[in-house]
Structure formats: structure tokens, C-alpha cells
Amino acid sequence: MPEKPQGIMVEKTNKNVIVIDTNVLINDPGAIAELRKGGNLLVIPWTVIMELDKLKKTPGIKFEVQEAIREIDKLREANDPTLIIERGTNFSGLKLDKDVPDHQIIATLNHVLYHFARKHDRYNGYDKVKMVTNDYTVKILARETAQQGKLSVEPYLKTRAEIKHKDLVIATLNVKSEEVKTEDKAKAIYSFQAKGPFKKILNGEAIVAYSDFDPFIGKTEEWKEQFAAVRQGDKFAIINPNIEASGIRAKHNGNKNWAQMIALHYLLDYTVDCIFLQGGAGTGKTLIALAAGLEHKKSGTYSQIIISRPTVPLDVDQQTGFLPGDIRQKMNPWLLPIFQNLTVILKNGKRKMSLVKDVQGNTTEDASSILDQNGITIQSLDFIRGATFSNAFIIVDEAQNLTRHQIKTIITRVGEGSKVVFTGDLSQIDNRHLDRNSSGLAYAIQHMKGNSIVGVVNFKETLRSRIASFAEKVL
């Protein structure tokens, strides 16, 4: 880059050239408007347009892709000067594969940097070039490419939500027995005032109490973790330790599982409309969500149970649209954990299950009949996002694979008298366009917690087996 003549001040414009990656548009089509604010020039590489075209019918993300394409088309139709679709590439000096899309995007960035450094044409009059991407490999390649001109490489910040350790830990506070008020001893309903250190707990948030009060026997001589409680306005409601749904109770190797207990409270409380259950594999998230749904269906609180999950295949070319059969058959590979948990609940409650014979003549449980008998409907995520459901208990499993835009769309489609439950594990993200900080699940937790109609629980205890618990801790 030519040296700046001595003694001449270059006036800053606070406007930048922003080169965008495909994953940003999939995560949030609104990035097209957001990144152009303040007079920035948004550059969309030709390769990004080609990738969007290939993804426009992909289940799970087709709405975002099509919305991004529509917005780009609208701006191009209007000849908006703040948007450029850049066909140029510059592989000079780059040891990259010209057939790899990510490498093509880097070559476009290199082309932009070359013209920016020489103040050519439409890239003149800006302070610097920014590469905005949520892809770690693209970030590395972009930084290594910046041989000419000014370049900063950044994630798309608007959809990022840093979930810190303290956000996932259930607070423990001391509660003296004399502070506990009896509201209905027969039903073990107790409460205490939200004052002093308790005021820092957000409305709707739960705590575990270290106390000399036991909900079953009253005052005790021993101080220990005695109960869990949820803040409800100016008081805390103590959760009945025996809380259960469809015969499923909170447990872990004979000890109290506070996370499950709190989750059951949120799931069974009809005043809580949206619940986020986050935690590792085998911690019981999906199991208790299903159990609560069946409990509500039996009591008539909700007329239907709707279950879905993002269909994110490990093989990018594997899509539900190409699988044989109806929606249930298409979703079967992704819904196996749902069937397994449902079977556990029904057997635990000693409910009768439909049996069929397989091709070898062995008697097996008929998944479709089990779903029908219990009022459970399997829906694709795309269908849920396009409809409004009233009086429904909705479970969205594997929610860590949702984008910010997707999770917002689902929540805003929840109708009157419905409850939506998101279960997921932020350490197990399969969507290659997302990471822990850009996942819609993390974003929604961070922005919605602290409201009495929202429940957030982090699970830690693995329940599958001793070896599963050990592996979860050390591997």
C-alpha cells in the first residue's frame, strides 16, 4: 500500500467496505440491512449468491435463504449503491483451490482489498475493509490473505450471545426456617419473601436453598440443600420435592436432581409460556418435557402435543425431502430419541402400548400407534414456522441447531394458550453455520431470561449409565 504523504491528514468517514460470508445470511437475513447502516458498502461475493441458490430448498434453512435472496433482489432492482455483488476474484499469491466455495470467497476478498488499497472505482472513500463471517476457517484464511490494505475480520455480532458459566449455574442461597411462610401445609405449599440478597435473583429464576427447613418435616437441626424455589414477583415459591409428571420424578442415583425438579415446575406451570432446557446428552431434558406434555394432555390443559426438531444431517447432501414415505417416515431418523423416551414414560406409567409384528415375526412396539394414542403430532420445523398453534404443548428438540431467526420465528408463531419447550445442548451443534455463541438457543436464553413467563434450566447430571456419566465428565 502506498505510504501516506507526511503532513497530510486523511479524514475518516466512519464508513467501511464489508464483505459478507454465506453463513451470516443464513443465520440472519436481516444482516443485509444491518451491515449497510451508516453508509457502509456491503459486498456480496458471487459465490455467496451461488451457495444461496443451492440452499434455497434445503429443509430447516430455506426460509432464511429465500428471504435473503428476496432482499438482495429488491436492492439490485432499485440499483441501491450500498450493495455490490462482486464477481471478481484474485487468486494471485494464494495457495487456494479455485473449486472450493470458501476459497472463492477469500479470492473475492483479495480482489476487493487490491482495489481498495489503490482507491479504485467504487471502493474509494471508505476507511477499511471488513470480512464478516461466523466460519472459523474463513476467518483464518481471511486474516492470512490481508497482505494489502486495511482489513478487520469479525463475526456477525448481532446474533451472538455469550453464555457465561454463571448464566448456567443455579444460584444457592441461605434461607432460615423462620423466613419460610406456610401457605398450604397439606399440599406442601410454602414461600418466602424476595428481600435482601434474594432481590438480585431475576423474576422467574430459580434457586436452590441451603436451609434448616425441610418442606416435609419443617425445622431441622441440620443445614443442607433442602429445596428449590422460583421467584414470583416479591416472593419465592418453594417447589414440592415430590413434583412429578406422568410418573417421572426428578432423580439422580438416589439424590435430588435440582435441575430436573425446577424444569418440572416450569413445565407443569401453565403461567410459564416458554421454556429452555439446556444441557448435555442423557440429562433427561427430552424425557421430562415429554412426560409433562403427556400430563397436560391427560388433564386437558392442552389439546395436542406437537414435536419437532431441526433436520440437520451430518451429511450435507442428506435431506428429508429425498427420504421415502410420509412426514413421520421422513423424520424417523431424527425422532428416534423421542420414541425411546416416550416408550420409557409409557412403560413407567404401565400404559398399554400397541404391538405389531415385524418381517421376522417378532413383536415390536408400533411407534405410529403410540403417537396417535397419546395425541402426539410430528411436524417438520418448516411447517411449525408457517402455522399458528393454539392450545398446544410444543416441543422443539435439538434446538441448539436453530438460528436466531428460526427460533424467533417459532416463538412468535406460538398461539393463545400454548406452551413451547426448547431442548438442546450447546456443546453438540451439528449445524455447520453455527457455533456456541451464534446458536439461536443461546441468543434466546440470553435475551428472554428474567421474565416470569420464561423458564431457563441448565442440566448437568447424566442419567444414562455410570459409564455415560463418567465419559461426560472426562472426555
**Among 80-89, 311-320, 425-434, the range of highest mean pLDDT:** 80-89
CATH number assigned to the domain comprising residue 385: 3.40.50.300
Handedness of CA 304, 305, 310, 314 (dihedral sign): negative
Is 7 part of any domain? no
Picking from 110, 131, 159, the residue at the C-terminal end of a domain is: 159
- Work out the angle between the directed axes of helices 46-55 and 62-77 (0-180°, nearest 10): 140
- Residue 3 pLDDT level (bands cut at 50, 70, 90): low
Is 251 part of any domain? no
> Do 128 and 17 form a contact (C-beta atoms < 8 A)?
yes
Per-residue pLDDT, averaged over 211-234, amounts to: 91
Per-residue pLDDT, averaged over 413-423, amounts to: 91
Kindly state the DSSP code that residue 420 receives in the 8-state scheme. E
Instruction: Tell me: do 125 and 266 sit in the same domain.
Output: no
In this structure, what C-alpha cell is assigned to residue 354?
400397541
The C-alpha atoms of residue 34 and residue 40 are separated, in whole angstroms, by 10
Is 438 part of any domain? yes
**Apex CA 338: angle with CA 335 and CA 339, to 5°?**
90
Q: Given this model, what pLDDT does residue 327 score? A: 54
Task: Please name the residues in contact with 115: beta carbons below 8 A apart, sequence gap of 6 or more.
Answer: 121, 123
Length of the chain: 475
Q: What is the pLDDT of residues 126-181, one digit of tens each?
A: 999 999 998 889 999 998 876 545 789 999 988 788 777 676 778 889 999 999 99
Instruction: Find the domain containing 287 and state its range.
Output: 260-474
> Do 298 and 475 form a contact (C-beta atoms < 8 A)?
no
Instruction: Tell me: do 152 and 169 sit in the same domain.
Output: no
Provide the 10 A C-beta neighbour count for residue 370. Answer: 17
Provide the 10 A C-beta neighbour count for residue 228. Answer: 28
Closest listed residue to residue 158, CA positions, set 72, 34, 260: 34
Instruction: Tell me: do 280 and 355 sit in the same domain.
Output: yes
Is 255 part of any domain? no
Picking from 159, 175, 209, the residue at the C-terminal end of a domain is: 159
The span from the first CA to the last CA of the chain, in angstroms, equals 48
Picking from 159, 183, 198, the residue at the C-terminal end of a domain is: 159
Q: Which residue has the higher pLDDT, 69 or 249?
A: 69
> Do 24 and 61 form a contact (C-beta atoms < 8 A)?
no
Instruction: Tell me: do 362 and 470 sit in the same domain.
Output: yes
- Whose grid coordinates read 424444569? 263
> Do 41 and 80 form a contact (C-beta atoms < 8 A)?
no
Count of domains for the chain:
3
Instruction: Tell me: do 72 and 94 sit in the same domain.
Output: yes
Residue 342 has pLDDT above 90, yes or no: no
CATH number assigned to the domain comprising residue 112: 3.40.50.1010
Is 11 part of any domain? no
